[in-house]
């Protein structure tokens, strides 16, 4: 009896060790064969539901196998930017596809990216391209105000982010944690545009107005849709998901006559020391094509095309129909660390 | 006779050649340092290096000067202690009932009461928001929002974590209560009533087990990220996360984890001082303890178990099911995740088995250690276990992502298994050390005296007596490995995805109904194999 159990135990162990060995071996072989041009690696922070179909379509079209690592820049993980930084000395990724500008610019500053000016980006306005070619913007989202249509009448709804500091919305406003994700871009942009003093003052007023600082933009949307807050600050794609779901919400482009609407393009970059640089460039060309912008516009992500002549998504006006926040993305991104520290103390995070 | 001579020959062998026993423990110790401790050590080295490559204390100076650190320390202590107290308060009575009392459907009750430990903790937090948020179910039922103030608070986080971690205390109590020497209690009953016997004899005898479980709960609560993050409570883990995610500063992030490790260390020392070397160990008995005469309290006990079951298991599952709305959402999520499910199950089985092997050698070494150092070894296990998963993940990248064979390991699924080992070998080692200490040394000595080699003694005498401990350690390692997210998300090779990573990358910007469906699906995937294992084990027991 005892002898029997022992044998079983050893057998299990042995078989598992074998599986592990086989598993490792298979992977190593895959790694060796990945030297061939038929395979490449991309790190993607654009939501997987939207990015995966596009990469699959590219695989089908070209036969190149695209190995993807997905992540989001929400507050649940530390994101791909940290992984890229940690892997810097021995790059594993060929391409980084980011869903917002800040991470890309941090990576540029830390020497993780390599320049590549794609011919496919010719139709994209210069404001959305890095002069040195370290990144190229495409399909953009906007930062928007969202309100609960059951609790707020359209004529009462705020039209500017500065209205959120109005005492009449005390305790009724939700924003995502400004240290992370697109809200960190938005706050850095406000600091870059307004200067420290006015921006500090705005956030102090928000704090005095008992603003709810929540984990993510999707949570902001959820709170507004449930009526836990009347107004929130979030991204176009979050609102669109709720609109498609027939939730009682509506969106407003903030400051479209004043400061301008903050625009966040996706950004694609070549990685310095990319193991498959040539394949990487081809994929970048594809991602910057009008076709991909069309797909992203038609998806639930409702991302606004930057190429002229590509039809805008149905719930969102075209990019030239409102005033964009005139913004130097590099300048805004340079402010992120300092702004994070400031807001940490102002908002008591 | 020949065997005896042979044995003395072994005893007299030159001290320069290590025995198989020493060699096994030595190799295990080296593997532990390389796989589990080195990623963290690497990160601490990084935290002392400036951007320009020079040595610097800057990251730690910040730690001492920032006023927010004091607040974080206070909140973290409250969260850890509160959770440990709540989990113990729920777990100990339940454990006693399961061990001693005559309750209906006890086997089912035990399995059902373990469920919260298996559920991903973010799922419980999510369920509580759906109930206790300002527009949650409770507010809808009452018509007014009374709960949200409590949901999004330290109290809420303690409640959620306490309800998710009490099974540890319950299982430890039950196991210990079953092993108390019955004759001690019988003797006490001659002079005192059952209640006094319980308080003065039984509970003190099982106190070390309870304290050990409370310590584990404290460390788990301290290193928990998703619950405080979702319920907006600022603790050390969220602070470490911020340093990574908002500032991209590996050194500062690692430095920010030190107060947490210090807290875990202090908790370990305190428990060690209170119960001495006996923690996580218990006495051994040939008979199970005395039955607990509940009398008129029986109904009360049943109601109490039912309440815990309702709040910790039924409520979260029902709430998530309501939020998910349709069964088809769950089956869709399931069928789209088949690849990730197979990956996760395979990797978790391999991981848990390797964790068991390494933990067994370490636990045996610790359990049979004779030096004063053995308590330091325990503390070492606790500290390594308390290291935040992100620190482990980034450390693993720094160590393994280089050209040559480490790079091949890094770009294969083996790195995920290494991440599991790095995080969970210490727990297995602690559990198995306790299990080893329950086996009287005299068994091994007499077997060796009759000529058996150490390997033979180990496999024929020691292992068969550790069956329960081995099973417990494997299941705990499997549950932890299956749910691991923080380190896996950083090191998982392109294309390889585990279920938690997949669910997590899908839930951003998804409808709450789909988030709930994904969470439920993840719960089902882990519950089904465990239920099967449980059934197999109980059938095996009967046989």
Report the distance separating Cα B354 and Cα B235, nearest Å. 32
Contacts of A48 in chain B (CB under 8 A): 505-506
A76:B508 CB<8 A: yes
B346 contact A CB<8A:
yes
Residue B130, min C-alpha distance to chain A (Å)? 10
Band of pLDDT at residue A27, cut at 50, 70 and 90: very low
Considering the domain architecture, whether residues A130 and A152 belong to the same structural domain is answered as: no
Considering the domain architecture, whether residues A170 and A251 belong to the same structural domain is answered as: yes
pLDDT at A308 exceeding the cut of 80: yes
A6:B459 CB<8 A: yes
pLDDT at B472 exceeding the cut of 70: yes
- Asked which of A3-12, B251-260, B378-387 is least confident by mean pLDDT, the reply is A3-12
> What is the average per-residue pLDDT within B302-319?
90
B494:A41 CB<8 A: yes
Largest CA distance in chain A: 83
CA nearest to B170, candidates B417, B435, B484, B472: B472
B247:A48 CB<8 A: no
With a CB cutoff of 8 Å and minimum separation 6, the contacts of A97 are A42, A43, A44, A45, A46, A51, A266, A267, A268, A287
Q: Which of residues 259-288 of B touch A (CB under 8 A)?
A: none
Contacts of B230 in chain A (CB under 8 A): 215
% chain A with pLDDT above 90:
53
**Residue that wins the pLDDT comparison between A137 and B335:** A137
pLDDT at B78 exceeding the cut of 80: yes
pLDDT of residue B420: 96
Q: Which helix (H) or strand (E) holds A34?
A: none
**Residue that wins the pLDDT comparison between B452 and A342:** A342
% chain B with pLDDT above 70:
89
For testing contact with chain B, the best of A15, A30, A77, A226 (most B CBs within 10 A): A77
pLDDT of residue A25: 43
**Residue that wins the pLDDT comparison between B248 and A279:** A279
For testing contact with chain A, the best of B138, B467, B508 (most A CBs within 10 A): B508
Contacts of A213 in chain B (CB under 8 A): 232
Q: Is A10 inside a domain boundary?
A: no
- Asked which of B16-25, B252-261, B471-480 is least confident by mean pLDDT, the reply is B16-25
Q: Is A6 inside a domain boundary?
A: no
pLDDT of residue A5: 44
Report the distance separating Cα B381 and Cα B267, nearest Å. 13
B409 contact A CB<8A:
yes
pLDDT of residue A304: 92
B250:A216 CB<8 A: no
For A180, nearest residue in chain B (alpha carbons): B246
A77:B504 CB<8 A: yes
A28:B408 CB<8 A: yes
pLDDT of residue A84: 92
Band of pLDDT at residue A274, cut at 50, 70 and 90: very high
Report the distance separating Cα B169 and Cα B538, nearest Å. 21
Q: Where are the alpha helices (DSSP H) in B450-511?
A: 454-457, 463-465, 467-483, 488-491, 499-507
Q: Are B482 and B348 in contact (CB under 8 A)?
A: yes
Considering the domain architecture, whether residues A66 and A133 belong to the same structural domain is answered as: yes
Considering the domain architecture, whether residues A229 and A127 belong to the same structural domain is answered as: no
Name the residue among B248, B350, B354 with its Cβ closest to that of A106: B248
How confident is the model over B165-195, as pLDDT tens digits? 999 899 888 888 877 777 777 787 888 877 7
- Asked which of A108-112, A159-163, A340-344, B198-202 is least confident by mean pLDDT, the reply is B198-202
Query: What is the CB neighbour count within 10 angstroms for residue A281?
Result: 18
Contacts of B398 in chain A (CB under 8 A): 86
- Asked which of A35-44, B168-177, B269-278, B457-466 is least confident by mean pLDDT, the reply is B269-278
Residue A257, min C-alpha distance to chain B (Å)? 29
pLDDT at A13 exceeding the cut of 50: yes
The complex's ipTM?
0.74
Considering the domain architecture, whether residues A342 and A221 belong to the same structural domain is answered as: yes
Residues spanned by CATH 1.10.3720.10 within chain B? 1-13+32-56+326-543, 66-324
The mean of the pLDDT values for chain A is 85
Residue A43, min C-alpha distance to chain B (Å)? 8
pLDDT of residue A15: 54
- Asked which of A202-216, B124-138, B383-397, B398-412 is least confident by mean pLDDT, the reply is B124-138
Name the residue among A19, A70, A340 with its Cβ closest to that of B505: A70
pLDDT of residue A20: 53
- Residue A303 is classified by DSSP as P
B401:A77 CB<8 A: no
Name the residue among B148, B403, B504 with its Cβ closest to that of A76: B504
CATH number of the domain within which A147 lies: 3.40.190.10
Band of pLDDT at residue A1, cut at 50, 70 and 90: very low
Report the distance separating Cα B116 and Cα B164, nearest Å. 5
For B51, nearest residue in chain A (alpha carbons): A110
Query: What is the CB neighbour count within 10 angstroms for residue B428?
Result: 29
Dihedral pair phi/psi, residue B140, rounded to 5° = -65, -35
Considering the domain architecture, whether residues A42 and A167 belong to the same structural domain is answered as: no
The mean of the pLDDT values for chain B is 82
> What is the average per-residue pLDDT within B251-266?
88
B234:A349 CB<8 A: yes
Q: Are A97 and A268 in contact (CB under 8 A)?
A: yes
Regarding pTM above 0.95, the answer is no
Contacts of A337 in chain B (CB under 8 A): 246-247
Considering the domain architecture, whether residues A301 and A269 belong to the same structural domain is answered as: yes
pLDDT of residue A232: 96
Number of domains composing chain A: 2
Band of pLDDT at residue B5, cut at 50, 70 and 90: very low
Q: Which helix (H) or strand (E) holds A30?
A: helix A2-33
Band of pLDDT at residue A171, cut at 50, 70 and 90: very high
pLDDT of residue A16: 55
B417:A49 CB<8 A: no
Q: Is A327 inside a domain boundary?
A: no
CATH number of B1-13+32-56+326-543: 1.10.3720.10
Residue A174, min C-alpha distance to chain B (Å)? 13
Name the residue among A47, A92, A228 with its Cβ closest to that of B508: A47
> What is the average per-residue pLDDT within B421-444?
88
**Residue that wins the pLDDT comparison between B533 and B456:** B456
Q: What does the DSSP assignment read for A235-278?
A: EHHHHHHHHHTT-SEEEE-TTTTTT-B-EEEEEEEEETT-TTHH
Beta strand A113-114 pairing with A263-271: antiparallel
pLDDT at B366 exceeding the cut of 60: yes
Query: What is the CB neighbour count within 10 angstroms for residue A298?
Result: 13
Number of A to B CB contacts under 8 A, please give it: 165
CA nearest to B512, candidates B320, B306, B326: B320
Q: Is A300 inside a domain boundary?
A: yes
Considering the domain architecture, whether residues A257 and A148 belong to the same structural domain is answered as: yes
Dihedral pair phi/psi, residue B260, rounded to 5° = -65, -45
B390:A78 CB<8 A: yes
Report the distance separating Cα A186 and Cα A264, nearest Å. 9
B345 contact A CB<8A:
no
Report the distance separating Cα B492 and Cα A82, nearest Å. 14
Contacts of B134 in chain A (CB under 8 A): 226, 228
| B503 three-state secondary structure | helix
Band of pLDDT at residue B276, cut at 50, 70 and 90: low
pLDDT of residue B421: 96
Q: Which helix (H) or strand (E) holds B15?
A: none
CA nearest to A105, candidates A310, A257, A327, A342: A327
Q: Is A7 inside a domain boundary?
A: no
CA nearest to B321, candidates B116, B519, B114, B111: B519
> What is the average per-residue pLDDT within B16-24?
80
B242:A86 CB<8 A: no
pLDDT at B455 exceeding the cut of 50: yes
For testing contact with chain B, the best of A15, A22, A27 (most B CBs within 10 A): A27
Query: What is the CB neighbour count within 10 angstroms for residue A309?
Result: 7
Q: What does the DSSP assignment read for B47-102?
A: HTB-TTS-B--HHHHHHHH-THHHHHHHHHHHHHHHHHHHHHHHHHHHHHHHHHS-
Q: Which segment, A29-43, A125-139, A315-329, is predicted with the most confidence on average? A: A125-139
B350 contact A CB<8A:
yes
B509:A92 CB<8 A: no
pLDDT at A18 exceeding the cut of 60: no
pLDDT at A33 exceeding the cut of 50: no
Show the 3-state SS of B253-274: HHHHHHHHHHHHHHHHHHHHHH
Q: Are B156 and B150 in contact (CB under 8 A)?
A: yes
B454 contact A CB<8A:
no
Query: What is the CB neighbour count within 10 angstroms for residue B118?
Result: 18
> What is the average per-residue pLDDT within A340-349?
88
Give the side-chain half-sphere CA count within 13 A for B92.
19
How far from A123 is each of A130, A140, A270, A291, A308, CA to CA, in Å? 14, 15, 19, 13, 7
For A244, nearest residue in chain B (alpha carbons): B511
How confident is the model over B188-243, as pLDDT tens digits? 788 887 778 877 777 888 888 888 889 989 999 998 887 887 787 888 888 888 78
Residue A30 burial (C-beta neighbours within 10 Å; 0-12, 13-18, 19+): middle
B248 contact A CB<8A:
yes
Q: Is the dihedral of CA A16, A17, A23, A26 positive or negative?
A: negative
Contacts of A20 in chain B (CB under 8 A): 350, 354, 414, 417
B460 contact A CB<8A:
yes
> What is the average per-residue pLDDT within B325-353?
86
CA B415 to chain centroid, in Å, comes to: 21
How confident is the model over B114-161, as pLDDT tens digits? 888 888 887 888 888 888 776 677 777 777 767 777 778 899 999 999
- Residue B520 is classified by DSSP as H
Q: Which helix (H) or strand (E) holds A226?
A: helix A217-226
Residue A120 burial (C-beta neighbours within 10 Å; 0-12, 13-18, 19+): buried
> What is the average per-residue pLDDT within A177-185?
87
Quote the radius of gyration of chain B (alpha carbons, Å): 24
Q: Are A60 and A162 in contact (CB under 8 A)?
A: no
Q: Which of residues 89-128 of B touch A (CB under 8 A)?
A: 122
Contacts of A111 in chain B (CB under 8 A): none
Name the residue among A27, A90, A344 with its Cβ closest to that of B412: A27
- Which fold, B66-324? MetI-like fold (1.10.3720)
pLDDT of residue B218: 94
Domain that holds residue A97: 36-140+264-315
A337:B350 CB<8 A: no
A218:B509 CB<8 A: yes
For A215, nearest residue in chain B (alpha carbons): B230
Report the distance separating Cα B465 and Cα B437, nearest Å. 11
Considering the domain architecture, whether residues A121 and A131 belong to the same structural domain is answered as: yes
Considering the domain architecture, whether residues A279 and A194 belong to the same structural domain is answered as: no
> What is the average per-residue pLDDT within A225-240?
91
pLDDT of residue A98: 92
Contacts of A264 in chain B (CB under 8 A): none
How confident is the model over A73-110, as pLDDT tens digits? 554 445 788 889 989 988 999 999 998 888 899 899 99
pLDDT of residue B175: 80
B490 contact A CB<8A:
yes
Dihedral pair phi/psi, residue A145, rounded to 5° = -90, 140
Considering the domain architecture, whether residues A247 and A304 belong to the same structural domain is answered as: no
How far from A250 is each of A99, A299, B248, B414, CA to CA, in Å? 23, 19, 35, 48
- Residue B1 is classified by DSSP as -
B413:A23 CB<8 A: yes
B244:A68 CB<8 A: no
Residue A122, min C-alpha distance to chain B (Å)? 31
Q: Is A46 inside a domain boundary?
A: yes
pLDDT at A138 exceeding the cut of 50: yes
Contacts of A340 in chain B (CB under 8 A): 242, 246-247
Considering the domain architecture, whether residues A268 and A132 belong to the same structural domain is answered as: yes
């Amino acid at each position: 009896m005892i002898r029997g159990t022992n044998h079983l135990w050893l057998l299990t162990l042995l078989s598992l060790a074998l599986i592990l060995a086989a598993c490792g071996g298979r992977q190593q072989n895959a790694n060796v064969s990945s030297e061939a041009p038929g395979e490449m690696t991309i790190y993607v922070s654009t939501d997987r539901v939207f990015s995966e179909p596009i990469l699959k379509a590219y695989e089908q079209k070209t036969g190149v196998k695209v190995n993807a690592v997905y992540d989001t820049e929400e507050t649940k993980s530390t994101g791909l930017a940290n992984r890229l930084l940690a892997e810097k000395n021995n790059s594993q990724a060929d391409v980084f596809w980011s869903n917002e500008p800040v991470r890309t610019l941090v990576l540029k500053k830390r020497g993780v990216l390599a320049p590549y000016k794609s011919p496919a980006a010719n139709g994209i306005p210069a404001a959305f391209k890095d002069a040195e070619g370290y990144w190229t913007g495409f399909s953009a989202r906007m930062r928007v105000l969202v309100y609960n249509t059951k609790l707020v009448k359209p004529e009462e709804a705020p039209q500017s982010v500065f209205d959120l500091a109005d005492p009449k919305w005390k305790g009724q406003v939700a924003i995502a944690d400004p240290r992370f994700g697109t809200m960190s871009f938005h706050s850095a942009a406000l600091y870059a545009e307004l200067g420290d003093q006015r921006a500090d003052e705005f956030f102090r007023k928000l704090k005095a107005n008992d603003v709810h600082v929540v984990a993510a933009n999707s949570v902001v949307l959820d709170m507004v849709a449930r009526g836990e807050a009347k107004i929130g600050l979030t991204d176009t794609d979050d609102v669109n998901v709720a609109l498609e779901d027939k939730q009682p919400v509506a969106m407003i482009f903030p400051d479209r006559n004043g400061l301008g609407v903050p625009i966040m393009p996706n950004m694609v970059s070549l990685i310095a020391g990319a193991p498959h640089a040539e394949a990487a460039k081809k994929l970048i060309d594809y991602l910057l094509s009008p076709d991909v912008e069309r797909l992203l516009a038609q998806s639930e992500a409702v991302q606004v095309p930057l190429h002229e002549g590509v039809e805008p998504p149905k719930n969102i006006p075209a990019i030239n129909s409102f005033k964009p926040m005139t913004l130097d993305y590099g300048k805004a991104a340079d402010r992120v660390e300092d702004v994070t520290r400031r807001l940490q103390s102002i908002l008591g995070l | 006779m020949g065997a005896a001579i042979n044995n003395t020959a072994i005893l007299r062998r030159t001290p320069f050649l290590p025995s198989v026993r020493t060699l096994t423990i030595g190799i295990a110790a080296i593997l532990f340092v390389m796989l589990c401790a080195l990623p963290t050590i690497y990160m601490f080295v990084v935290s002392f290096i400036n951007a320009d490559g020079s040595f610097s204390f800057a990251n730690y100076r910040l730690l001492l000067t920032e006023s927010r650190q004091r607040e974080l320390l206070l909140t973290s202590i409250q969260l850890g202690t509160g959770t440990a107290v709540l989990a113990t308060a729920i777990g100990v009575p339940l454990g006693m009932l399961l061990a001693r009392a005559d309750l209906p459907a006890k086997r089912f009750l035990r399995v059902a009461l373990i469920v919260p430990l298996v559920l991903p903790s973010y799922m419980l937090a999510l369920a509580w928001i759906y109930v206790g948020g300002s527009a949650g179910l409770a507010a809808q039922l009452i018509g007014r929002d009374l709960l949200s103030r409590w949901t999004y608070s330290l109290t809420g986080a303690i409640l959620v974590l306490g309800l998710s971690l009490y099974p540890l205390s319950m299982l430890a109590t039950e196991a210990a209560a079953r092993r108390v020497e019955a004759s001690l209690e019988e003797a006490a009953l001659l002079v005192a009533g059952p209640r006094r016997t319980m308080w003065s004899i039984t509970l003190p005898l099982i106190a070390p087990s309870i304290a050990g479980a409370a310590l584990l709960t404290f460390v788990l609560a301290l290193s928990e990220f998703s619950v405080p993050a979702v319920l907006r409570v600022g603790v050390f883990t969220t602070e470490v996360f911020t340093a990574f995610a908002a500032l991209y500063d590996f050194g500062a992030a690692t430095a920010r984890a030190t107060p947490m490790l210090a807290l875990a260390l202090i908790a370990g020392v305190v428990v060690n001082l209170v119960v001495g070397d006996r923690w996580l160990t218990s006495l051994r008995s040939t008979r199970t303890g005395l039955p607990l005469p509940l009398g008129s309290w029986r109904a009360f006990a049943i109601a109490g178990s039912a309440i815990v079951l309702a709040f910790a298991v039924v409520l979260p599952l029902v709430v998530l099911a309501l939020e998910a709305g349709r069964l088809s959402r769950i089956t869709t999520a399931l069928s789209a995740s088949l690849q990730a499910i197979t990956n996760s199950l395979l990797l978790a089985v391999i991981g848990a088995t390797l964790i068991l092997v390494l933990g067994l050698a370490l636990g045996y070494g610790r359990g049979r250690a004779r030096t004063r150092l053995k308590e330091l070894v325990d503390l070492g296990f606790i500290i390594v276990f308390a290291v935040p998963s992100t620190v482990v993940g980034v450390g693993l990248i720094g160590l393994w992502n280089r050209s040559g064979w480490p790079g091949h390991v890094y770009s294969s699924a083996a790195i995920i298994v290494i991440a599991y080992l790095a995080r969970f070998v210490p727990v297995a080692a602690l559990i198995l050390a306790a299990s080893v200490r329950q086996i009287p040394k005299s068994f091994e000595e007499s077997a060796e005296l009759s000529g058996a080699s150490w390997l033979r003694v180990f496999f024929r005498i020691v292992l068969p007596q550790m069956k329960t401990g081995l099973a417990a350690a494997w299941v705990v390692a499997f549950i932890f490995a299956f749910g691991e997210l923080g380190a896996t998300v950083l090191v998982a090779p392109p294309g390889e995805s585990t279920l938690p990573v997949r669910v997590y990358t899908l839930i951003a910007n998804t409808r709450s109904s789909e988030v709930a469906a994904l969470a439920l699906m993840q719960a089902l995937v882990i519950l089904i194999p465990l239920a099967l294992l449980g059934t197999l084990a109980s059938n095996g027991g009967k046989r």
